[in-house]
Amino acid sequence: MTFVNLIIGVILGVMLFESRSHFLLGAITGGLIAFLISKLVRLEKKIASLEKNIQPALKTVQKSHIVAEEQKVEEEELEATRYEPAKPVLEPVSGKIDELAITIPVTHSEPSEPEVEPLSIFVAPNRKDPLLELWNIVLSYFTGGNVVVRVGIIVLFFGVAFLLKYTIERNLIPIEFRLVSICIGAIALLVFGWRLRLKMPEYALILQGGGVGILYLTIFAAMKLYQLVPFGVALALLVGLSVFSAALAIIQNARSLAVIGISGGFLAPILTSTGSGNHVMLFTYYALLNGGILLTARYKSWRELNLIGFIFTFGIGLIWGSNNYQADMFASTEPFLILFFIFYVIIGLLFASNQPLQHKGYIDCTLIFGTPLVCFALQAVLVKPYEYGLAWSALVMGALYAALAWQVFKKGSDAMRTLVESFLAMGVVFGTVAIPLALDGRWTSAAWALEGSAIVWIAIKRQRGMARVFGLLLQVLAGFAFLSAIKEPSGIIAVINGYFLGCMLISLAGFFSSYRLYLQREKIETANVESLLAMGWALLWWFGGGIHEIDAFVHTNYRLAYIISFFSISGLIGFVVGEKLYWGRLKHVYKIILPILILGGGYSLINFNSRPSVYGGYAAWPLVFIIQYWLLYKDDESPFTNLMKYLHLGTFLSLITLITWEIAWWSDHMVRGGGIWGLVPWGVMPAIFVMFLSKWHCSLSWPVSVHKKTYLYSGLVPVVTCLWLGTIFINLLSKGDPWPISYAPLLNPLDLSQAFVLIAIFFWALAVHKEFSIYPFNLSRIHLFATMGATVFLWLNAILIRTLHYWGGVSFNLQSMVTSDLVQTSLSIFWTLSAFAVMLWGKRKSVRNVWIGGAGLIGIVVIKLFLFDLSNTGTVERIVSFMGVGGICLLIGYLAPMPPRIQEAAEAE
């Protein structure tokens, strides 16, 4: 059907107009007819379906009413007074589908009977398709009323047009006479129609419409084709005729007259066209016609009249522009486009405001949305030669629609809500489009992000879920658009450049959206999740932008100091702002500082191989710890107790590590890399913390006084563990070179530090037991002291080995120590003396387990002598071993015999 109508339209355009532009107009007309027919078929199907659905309801209502009447009649037969019940009255179903009502009043003659309210069935009104309405008007014109007269007036109109064309080509009658005669005939039609307006209203309106159309045609021809009427006079006549036809239509409430008059006016220049292409005169004429439509819209909401003007104005304008527009015509074309845009914006506004009360605020979507879209498309062609022309156009249109939305919102009622939202939507759309047309990718993204946050805010206030999601998605889109422009230059000034400011604006938009959603978490089901996602997005851009800025403008060695300072200050700002705004989630941002401390320290150790204070660290690290502990102090009553415990632990351990690292570097640096000096602080500094907290934890203030177990026990457990493991490994592997001083047993840096470490661990174990009634690591008393004794024994053996290395000349390696008679003899005698001391203490304290431990050590020495030393007894060292061990054993038997209980048990056996 569409294809057939297109062919018919093309043929009609060729036959009537013999012009390329009208050839196209005919094709468009045919396609439009096909579209309208399909719409009509669909509408008829809907009508049939609706009638089918309403019939059961009608039957049910009628049946229930009949039953009620029968019951009433039976009751009345028992009464003295009889009355005839009212029959149901059914209002005829009108042909309108948009509103159907069946009213059944049920009344009684007795005043004592309760009144029954009328029963009504309503069918919700449907939105009308504008093209379908236009088709209904055309169809009703040729199928209703006096068809012969209606067809006749159309034929007469075209006949006058062809007569003018014919007389022009052959010059048969003086042109002045012809035009005057036509005007007289048109006026006669008007007068005759006016006189018949009461007797034959339909016929009268047809005559008046024909007269108005003929006058349009004649005045335009006299002005443009024959130059008989000056432009000013013709302009005045056309304006007067527009006002006159609009007044006739309004006075008689005649849509058809308005439609006929305005259609004739728009067709006049087409029918009399000579192809000269004088667009100024054409658009001036159309402006006058649209002025008449505007005047009519001020009093009547005649949608078909508005649509006819819209289609003719922009349709003819589009055809003219595609064939004739040149860049040098901008100055004479742009004002008309602006004028037509203003006309139809106002007409759309008047249409919504002039609706009856029950339809107040009903908008014409074709005009509200079609006008800006069509005009913007045409504007894009006009301003194409200008670099920012389209950007300024979009910005002005966006501002105009935003202002209109605000004015309607201020002055209108709730019924105009749809119009307000429509204007606001158009303002947002054109504002969004203007940004990328005028700015680079970064500023475009930033502006979109701010716009998205504004949409989220308005959507929350207006309770619009889809708009809220759109605002959040627009911010995400802004972020990806920003990344697409990441290769553009960042600028030469730190902070004040497009990249950093763009990141900050995207971040601030995310923070704003997150906060507004956070406030609505109790009212909106998904607000909590949306707020969390928006905050994560904002933090990503905040920290990402800061790191990029540091990477771009700070020397490589100083970047770590700037990064940790940036994170710490950001956490401080977040906490302060969150506290002021009662935004709990933002207050927790500072908790990410601890991972940054750990990562920053590790990065510094790996890349710099230096001290933490280097490259700005002397200022950055103190600042970080001051801010961190201040925030922990302010947030001390946080409900997240476990998290706060780990934050205290992590910060405390990081502080010990960095201080120890710094002291160790200086110690090694001052001795110029000599021996053990670089390792000694790794034992001494943590031991100082352990000893300090063990001795004075009761007199310390916050944070130790409030979090005593966290700092005294949980915080020092990893420190003590590292010290103990360090003691084991350093005694096994290090020779303890004290260069530049000479080695002296015990009186050297390593042994002194080891002694201090062991003492600190011992005092710590006692403090933990005293404060919390437990021993560290959940060990029993015996196991704890056994571990401490074994550690001391290992340390003393290491002292002996290092002494033999420096004083006895034995190489410090495993093979040399095993094969050395001096080392083996010294170890045998030392172990035996150690066992003697242990057994003597066990004897005096009557602790049999300790005594047995010493006896076990004696056994190990004896086994060692007979398995390893017996094969080489010719050396003085081995003889000394046997004699020394034997003599000490005799001494043990005399001075430290088995404790009494053990001795008695042995004698009994």
Q: Which of 597, 643, 457, 626 is nearest to 534 (CA)?
A: 457
What gap in Å lies between CA 589 and CA 570, rounded to an integer? 8
What gap in Å lies between CA 729 and CA 721, rounded to an integer? 12
What gap in Å lies between CA 406 and CA 123, rounded to an integer? 34
Which token pair is 477?
Answer: 């889109």
CA separation, residue 2 to residues 9, 130, 642 (Å): 10, 19, 74
Question: By the 8 A CB rule, do 503 and 551 touch?
Answer: no
What gap in Å lies between CA 760 and CA 686, rounded to an integer? 9
What gap in Å lies between CA 630 and CA 643, rounded to an integer? 16
Which residue type is seen at 55?
A: Q
Looking at residue 529, what is its pLDDT? 92
What gap in Å lies between CA 17 and CA 30, rounded to an integer? 15
Which token pair is 284?
Answer: 């001036």
Map residue 495 onto helix, strand or coil: coil
What gap in Å lies between CA 126 and CA 92, rounded to an integer? 20
E strand spans, 435-526:
none
Angle at 535 between CA 529 and CA 537, to 5 degrees: 105
| Residue in this structure with the two tokens 């029954």, named with its chain if needed | 116
Which token pair is 371?
Answer: 């006008």
Mean pLDDT by 10-residue block, N- to C-terminus, for the chain (909 residues)?
41 40 45 45 57 62 61 56 43 39 40 40 44 59 57 65 63 74 86 83 78 80 78 71 74 74 69 66 84 82 84 87 84 90 88 68 75 85 83 87 85 71 79 69 79 86 84 91 77 82 91 94 90 95 93 90 93 94 91 81 71 89 94 90 91 92 87 77 94 91 92 94 93 84 87 94 93 87 86 91 87 82 82 84 78 81 69 58 68 67 48
HSE-up of residue 644 (Cα within 13 Å, Cβ side): 15
| Residue in this structure with the two tokens 């201090």, named with its chain if needed | 756
Looking at residue 92, what is its pLDDT? 42
Question: By the 8 A CB rule, do 448 and 478 touch?
Answer: yes
- Return the axis-axis angle of helices 441-462 and 498-519, rounded to nearest 10°: 10
Looking at residue 16, what is its pLDDT? 39
Which residue type is seen at 523?
A: K
Looking at residue 290, what is its pLDDT? 87
What gap in Å lies between CA 31 and CA 20, rounded to an integer? 17
Neighbours of 375 (CB within 10 A): 21
Neighbours of 562 (CB within 10 A): 20
Which token pair is 328?
Answer: 């040098």
What are the φ and ψ backbone dihedral angles of 19, each rounded to 5 degrees? -145, 145
User: Phi-psi region for residue 847, left (φ > 0), alpha (ψ -120 to 50) or beta?
Assistant: beta
Residues 6+ apart with CB under 8 A from 736: 675, 676, 743, 748, 749, 750, 751, 802
Which token pair is 600?
Answer: 């920053």
Report H helices in 144-174. 147-170
Which token pair is 18?
Answer: 């013999």
End-to-end CA distance of the chain: 123
What gap in Å lies between CA 857 and CA 899, rounded to an integer? 17
CA separation, residue 483 to residues 6, 477, 644, 763 (Å): 48, 10, 36, 58
Which residue type is seen at 465?
A: G
Looking at residue 632, what is its pLDDT? 94
Q: Which DSSP string do the residues of 49-90 spell out, in sequence order? A: HHHHHHHHHHHHHHHHHHHHHHHHHHHHHTSSS---PPPP--
DSSP-assigned letter for residue 710:
I
Confirm whether pTM is higher than 0.75.
Answer: no
What gap in Å lies between CA 811 and CA 242, rounded to an integer? 120
What gap in Å lies between CA 795 and CA 679, rounded to an integer? 16
E strand spans, 541-665:
none
Question: By the 8 A CB rule, do 514 and 453 touch?
Answer: no
Q: Is 200 buried (19+), middle (13-18) or exposed (0-12) by CB count in 10 A?
A: middle
Residues 6+ apart with CB under 8 A from 702: 633, 636
Helix and strand totals (H; E) in the chain: 33, 2
Question: By the 8 A CB rule, do 207 and 190 touch?
Answer: yes
